[in-house]
A = this chain, B = another copy of it.
């Protein structure tokens, strides 16, 4: 109780299974006494493109635009665009970040990747020699909750799509761990479009059940061993 949760949600349709997963998470966490904020990216028409528009006022170097340098400088002088400042404030206040999305091409949808690209700028999320265990977003937890098109068997070692953990490396290690955020076990709903209504209900119940004891979970050891062993 009293914990703050930010759910970054990337699905176009509230009636989708991702929408249902979002709903039960908000309900269960609120019931626990957590304060829950949702960034509903499609509803917000969140901008995924990293451009000059993200910097208010003049550029550090207007001769040749370098997004990483410019957003770093803009962060330091409080010159990032309003939508980014708002997302950063939500991240700053959160104890737990949940990312809820359908897997698209072995990865998160572009709109969510754009949230990562634009919100987690240098100075805010990491800095020179402040990365991984030294990242700037320490004392926070993250959890990737997503649905797949393929079945669990298709995402196992030796099958054509490979171990699902291979796919988690860039997201969990390359982004969250890089920023110093601890990573909880992912929550994966395999192929909800291909199972019975009954099975889908079980999946929703399982998510609620997991959230009940979430705060007692230990983060994973976010090292290559976890992903590729």
Contact = CB atoms under 8 A, between A and B. Distances in A.
Nearest to A63: B15
B64 A16 contact: yes
Contacts of A2: none
A167 B168 CA distance: 10
A64 B18 CA distance: 12
Interface of A: 12-13, 15-16, 42, 45, 48-52, 63-68, 104-111, 113-114, 116-118, 120, 132, 149, 157, 160-162, 166-167, 169-171, 173-175, 178, 224, 227-228
Nearest to A68: B149
A111 to B, nearest CB: 5
A105 B132 contact: no
Contacts of A173: 106, 162
A49 B110 contact: yes
29 contacts: A12-B51, A13-B64, A13-B66, A16-B65, A16-B66, A45-B49, A50-B111, A68-B149, A105-B113, A105-B117, A105-B120, A105-B170, A105-B178, A106-B174, A106-B175, A107-B113, A107-B170, A109-B113, A109-B117, A110-B114, A110-B116, A110-B118, A161-B174, A166-B170, A166-B224, A166-B227, A167-B169, A167-B170, A228-B228
A108 B117 CA distance: 10
Contacts of A16: 64-66
